[in-house]
Chain A
Amino acid sequence: MTDLTILEERFQAKIDAELKIEPKDWMPEKYRKNLIRQISQHAHSEVVGMLPEGNWITRAPSLRRKAILLAKVQDEAGHGLYLYSAAETLGTSREQTIDDLLSGKAKYSSIFNYPTLTWADIGAVGWLVDGAAIMNQVMLCRTSYGPYARAMVRICKEESFHQRQGYEIMAVLANGTPEQKEMAQDALNRWWWPSLMMFGPTDANSPHSAESMKWKIKRQSNDELRQIFIDRTVQQAEVIGLSVPDPALKWNEATQHYDWGTIDWSEFNNVVAGNGPCNKERMVARNKAHDEGAWVREAALAYAAKKLKRKAA
């Protein structure tokens, strides 16, 4: 046996024994690379995710809703930061990670390439988009890499209000005037399928899945999580009198799950490829914020250097 095989076997034995992997532990290069890709994508999603919601902060219908939305968007910034820190423990620099987002080399969740057209979209994003994200994040609290798992625990504690405030917005609209109810239904119609796509390709077509499961980076498959999300969300839609836009949706007594229609994967692939309604707008916004913040980053460093010099003098 080569040294590498021995190291790999020891590594897998730790994973199998449910021991967390910590930054200084030996790990296969591919495990490291997979994690860097996944954690930084996740971080970018939190950061880009602030844009569609930030769009409504100034137009929130009440002070209560505005304070809530501000707190939620601030949380997303925080979640991005927890995750960037976790990625950094794997030996990447923050600068490189951010550059990869800004150059378009790194991906973020495609869901944020859809526009938030009405106030009801803020309800739908919280309820469906955060709801789908939570399914994934709860699973990731048990992921095998320690710093990632710890970041996820913190995120999950904060995320549950995000989904609840969104569902509350939808419930209020659905019980409001006919126009308000229609607005809520329209938002559900537009966000339903993209939310299901958030779980990623079907298990049969998911390129990174088998390895991620073996290494316990992921612990449940895309299709499993998607099904749980559908079962829960359809019930929640019924409670507030909205209907899920899937004619094939039907409760299956035998499986105790909903049967449902087919995702339009060509739409998914198209948005991933950069042709969604807001891909360009999002990248322009992130690059603009980064460029226009350059003087702040420089000034802060210059001020820190000046203070240090004064202290030494």
Chain B
Amino acid sequence: MSNNPNNWPLWEIFIQSKRGLEHKHVGSLHAADPQMAIENARDVYTRRQEGQSIWVVPAGAISSSQPEDAAMLFDPADDKTYRHPTFYTMPEGAKYI
């Protein structure tokens, strides 16, 4: 990545498509400041009514897990099927459960 201070920084863009739904990551763009990032995101990612709210986050502000840590982080959930409702045997004839 270029760290040239003469370049506009990179922003990650999150769009909420409808009230009540989550903001979802759609991609990234370069802009000089947050306001410009929002305005550019409007043009780049919502030309067809894809959104009604925009979040912009400086790309450098995002920390993420590493692929090599995936097993350590996520494997422990594999053998805990009792966390799902289908794990349990319900008596025949019981309703609304």
Contacts and interface: CB of A to CB of B under 8 A. Distances in A.
Interface of A: 22, 24-26, 71, 74-75, 78, 81-82, 85-86, 88, 91, 93-96, 150-151, 154, 158, 297-298, 300-301, 303-304, 307-308
B90 to A, nearest CB: 36
Nearest to B26: A154
Nearest to A94: B30
B6 A301 contact: yes
Does more than half of chain B's interface fall in helix, strand or loop, or is it mixed? loop
B28 to A, nearest CB: 5
Nearest to A93: B2
Contacts of B26: 154
Contact of B29 (A24, A71, A85): A85
A25 B2 contact: no
A88 B8 CA distance: 14
A91 B1 contact: yes
Contacts of B73: none
B28 A298 contact: no
Contact of A95 (B2, B27, B32, B43): B2
Interface in B20-35: 26-33
A78 B10 CA distance: 16
A151 B64 contact: no
A24 B66 contact: yes
Interface of B: 1-2, 4, 6-8, 10, 26-33, 36, 43-44, 47-48, 64, 66-67
A93 B29 CA distance: 12
24 contacts: A24-B64, A24-B66, A71-B47, A78-B47, A81-B44, A85-B29, A88-B1, A88-B10, A93-B4, A93-B7, A94-B2, A95-B7, A151-B27, A158-B47, A297-B8, A297-B32, A300-B8, A300-B32, A301-B6, A301-B8, A303-B32, A303-B33, A304-B33, A308-B33
Nearest to B27: A85
Given A298-B6, A300-B36, A301-B8, A75 B47 contact: yes
Contact of B67 (A25, A96, A304): A25
Contact of A78 (B4, B32, B43): B43
A86 B47 CA distance: 19
A301 B30 contact: no
Given A24-B67, A85-B27, A85-B29, A93 B1 contact: yes
Contacts of B2: 93-96
B33 A95 contact: no
A291 B33 CA distance: 21
Nearest to A74: B47
B22 to A, nearest CB: 17
Contacts of A78: 43-44, 47
The 9 closest A-B pairs by CB, nearest first: A93-B2, A304-B33, A300-B32, A304-B32, A85-B28, A85-B27, A95-B2, A301-B32, A25-B67
A307 B33 contact: yes
A85 B44 CA distance: 11
Contacts of A154: 26-27
A165 B32 CA distance: 35
Contacts of A88: 1, 10, 28
A303 B34 CA distance: 12
Given A300-B32, A300-B36, A94 B47 contact: no
Nearest to A25: B67
A158 B27 CA distance: 16
A158 B47 CA distance: 10
Nearest to B10: A88
Contacts of B7: 93-95
A124 to B, nearest CB: 25
Contacts of A26: 67
